Structure 1
């Protein structure tokens, strides 16, 4: 999906609601998947235009875990939970769930930023040792 500006998102919402333009037209005009347009419109209807003012949001481990459990244990739809929580995209929650399952049903919070040279060196040493063990 192409990155949309706040103004683009407002235009999409206005065209959807006021001008009765729908998915295929908006898809071609903005180059955005129809499902993502539907999600955006539903998100704005539920939370108002102020939801677009969020820039980057950091979500705590507890927040992610509660959202994941609503889907896995509460049998709620990913789309519905993502909308209810006001997530920027419906794919975020799906990614959290996939990561949760891949990591032994643990929520993993990734550190932001680059690793230090020492961390890079240590990672290279661990990788070299792992290759040696596999070769032996």
Structure 2
């Protein structure tokens, strides 16, 4: 999804507010979907220029429920409710409505994102080589040899690319 800055949105809105040009014509002129322009206009009419600025927010379950109840009570569309409550994400209200119908108020609780916290237990120190089994040592040796071969091959490829970039041609070992 394309991101538009505040000045671009304001320029598009001012163009739309002129009487001699339709929203569809403005949409084609700027290469923006007409529904996006309608959303910007509704937000602009409700909140002015500040409604066009980027906004990062997390909404509580109570706020989400309030938005849904107001939308249902007053017969508002999702676009109208988004403009009224200054919700910038286009699909948020539809998602909240689906969540509410599938799981009630608890489904509206904000979801935790990100990584799980690290465990409190520190990792155990590696065993000294004397205490490790021969099988474990051989497995590690095979891994390290493969890693070494990989790095050598990578270095050779990088060197070959640099030589080609400088105009040199390397002789193949197959010749």
TM exceeding 0.5: yes
What TM-score comes out, normalization by structure 1 length? 0.70
SS in 1 for 2:75: coil
Residue of structure 2 equivalent to 1:110? 111
Higher relative contact order (CA 8 A, sep 6+): 1
Structure 2 counterparts to residues 48-127 of structure 1, below 5 A: 48-72=48-72, 74-77=73-76, 78-102=78-102, 104-106=103-105, 107-112=108-113, 114-116=114-116
Please tell me whether Structure 1 or Structure 2 has the larger radius of gyration of its CA atoms.
2
Q: RMSD of the TM alignment (CA)?
A: 2.4
**1: CA distance between counterparts of 2:87 and 2:39?**
10
**1: CA distance between counterparts of 2:19 and 2:8?**
15
What TM-score comes out, normalization by structure 2 length? 0.56
Paired residues, what number?
A: 116
1:23-58 superposed Cα distances (whole Å, 9 cap, x missing partner): 222222333221221121121012110122342122
